[in-house]
Amino acid sequence: MKKSLFILLASIIILSDSCAVPKNNGTVVRLETSYGDITMLLYPETTKHRENFIKLVNKGFYNGVLFHRVIASFMIQAGDPGSKTAKPGTLLGSGDLGYTIPSEFIYPKYYHKKGALSAARESDDTNPLKASSSCQFYIVVGKVYSDRGLDSLEINNKQKLEAVLFQSIVMTKQAEVKKYRREGNQSKLDLLRDSILSVVDAKLEKTKSYKFTQQQRVDYKTIGGTPHLDGDYTVFGEVTHGLDIVEKISKTKTGNNNRPVEDIRVIKAEIIK
């Protein structure tokens, strides 16, 4: 009995810590929406994203924008300038301010747990450096994962990282590759491939960056999130109050292109700290 009670208390402490507001000097922003208020902390380390967001808030840019893309158990997205005056049924999501923000991945410290504030962006096909939108953002809702689900994601992460590392090394060996291909020397190509794979394996073993940290596993198994987005989109803040409002918005009825049937608007955004 005592042992069970100890484990329960330890679990509560871990959960409390995972949901606590980080102790830093981040800026606090409040979004007054037609569904209620959402308060968000902007992380100090993501300097470019924080400064850009503060600039837009102070200019009143976000006043009147819609949550134009809402997907239950995934996320809610806003910030398209065209949404302010958009008529019902209008396709939204492509609006911007004519510039992008370089990615700022502070990973694994900041990740896509429920309530994470992240920057939207164009796909890798046209945006290989994963630069963020100048104005569009999303707030994570996500879902709760099991250890088995996280293990599966780790395998996928490892495979993606292996491919990236392998390709980056191959690019430095192009002269050799072309020479062996020109000579039709398959044995040399095979040896080169194996040597590159050995280097990749050594790097993976050293960094283990494809693995989730203990805190990530705790959060993804308790409050939930979207772990498959980690390392691909910049997380630059998190919701500190009003996560119930985020949840409520995420469950609203949507039509074409995941746009809410009823307009859900940011009435006012303001810096409160």
pLDDT at 210: 87
Measured distance CA(26)–CA(32) in Å, rounded: 19
pLDDT score recorded for residue 206: 83
In this predicted model, what pLDDT tens digit does every residue of 41-77 receive, in sequence order? Answer: 999 999 999 999 999 999 999 999 999 999 999 999 9
Q: Which helix (H) or strand (E) holds 195?
A: helix 186-207
pLDDT of residue 24: 54
Report yes or no: 233 and 42 within 8 Å, Cβ to Cβ: no
Whole-number average pLDDT of the chain: 91
Three-state DSSP at 111 gives coil
Condensed to tens digits (0 to 9), the pLDDT of residues 167-214 reads 999 999 999 999 999 999 999 999 999 999 999 999 888 877 889 999
**Both structure tokens of 198:** 């050995």
pLDDT given at position 25: 67
Instruction: Using DSSP, state whether 271 is helix, strand or coil.
Output: strand
What is the mean pLDDT of the segment spanning 9-30? 54
**pLDDT at residue 2 above 90?**
no
Query: What pLDDT band is residue 151 in, cutting at 50, 70 and 90?
Result: very high
Whether 84 shows a pLDDT value over 60: the answer reads: yes
Residue 11 has pLDDT above 60, yes or no: no
- Asked whether the predicted pLDDT for residue 20 surpasses 70, the reply is no
pLDDT greater at residue 22 or residue 243: 243
The CATH architecture of the domain made up of 21-144+223-271 is Beta Barrel (2.40)
Confirm whether pTM is higher than 0.75. Answer: yes
* Residues linked to residue 118 through DSSP beta bridges, in sequence order: 138, 235
82 has a pLDDT exceeding 80: yes
Q: Quick one: tokens of 163?
A: 């491919």
What value does the mean pLDDT take over residues 227-252?
97
Residue spans of the domains in the chain: they are 21-144+223-271, 147-207
Provide the percentage of residues in the chain whose pLDDT is more than 90: 85
